[in-house]
A and B are shown apart, each in its own frame.
Chain A
Amino acid sequence: MPFKEKIAWISVVTTILVWGGYFGFMAVTGQRMPGQVYMVGFVGAVIVQTILVVVASIVTAVLAPKDASAGSDERDREIARRAYSIAYPVLLTLIVCVAASMHLGVTPRDMAYEIMAAIVVAEIVHYGAQIVGYRSGRHG
């Protein structure tokens, strides 16, 4: 498995776990807790995901140092470009939906959380598209 695909797997799994946990907690508590709780949770989620991705990437690089130091080649760049071209419209669509939700009485604070969720979904699509690119082939 290419090193870049391993990193995409690490990123997508940690994103789903950490941010799924964060937004799941938010959905379960129905935002009944003080705003500071969600703010601390947000900062905690950023820190936890950063640590998980960095540690998992270091372990992966140590296990396959040659692959890790190989850098990107034309196939990696093509897969990355395609992944962005798929994720970007998803992000734009979700941001437009968030903007439209303003007319449904959504508060600015909720909109901020919706924008965060849109970014998380777009990132999951981005990493997912990279994985599909490496798995399926036929992208040259």
Chain B
Amino acid sequence: MDDKWRNLRLGLGALGLILVVVGAWMGLFWAPADREMGDVYRIIYTHVPAMWMTLIGGFINFVACVAYLIRASWKADSLAEASAEVGLMFGVYGLVLGMLWGKPTWGVYWDWDPRLTSMAVLLVAYMGYMTLRRFIEDPEKRAVWSAVVGIIAFMDIPIVWFSVRWWRSLHQEQSTPQTVHPDMTLALRVNAFALLFVFLAFLWSRYRIAMANRKEELALPEALGEPTAAAG
């Protein structure tokens, strides 16, 4: 396959990894400890950006699904597959980190707090989406149906959010850059960009794999239908 962007993609990944190391150092040693939580809070430097990446992944998936239904293209379908999977990966990572943070802070791993619960529902919905993709062989049907499911699942996020918030609330009030130490903001931003570059590098690679899969699936029936020149 023609791969003129290989260096850019590798560069993006490398930049992301370097920033992850810098960000980890900033989060662990450079940023000041929290007044109330002490060092426990430091997990937010990777937990919060990971959750942001999950939401970005969900949003890209939604856009790709809408784009596919408007105008069918394998690029949109592959992007939808890639964004769902990479977003799901960051989501599981972020959710586990959130639970690790919850134990010393709330005293329990799991509490039915709106953000945690909405995220868990979101992840289960995207697991369903990925499962659906595995269970349909016909690539065109798979693309249309998973696009429909992707749109329906994305529209559910705000409703889940409101319903669980009314149901129960415990999570931290969101902090804004005005309420925290400026060093904390900078450390969080470095980590956010680090994970963003890693996310983009993963997304791009996963997209290429998905495109290669589509090409293989579409070529296969013809290859089986008539003997190739080499065989004859």
- Bound together: no
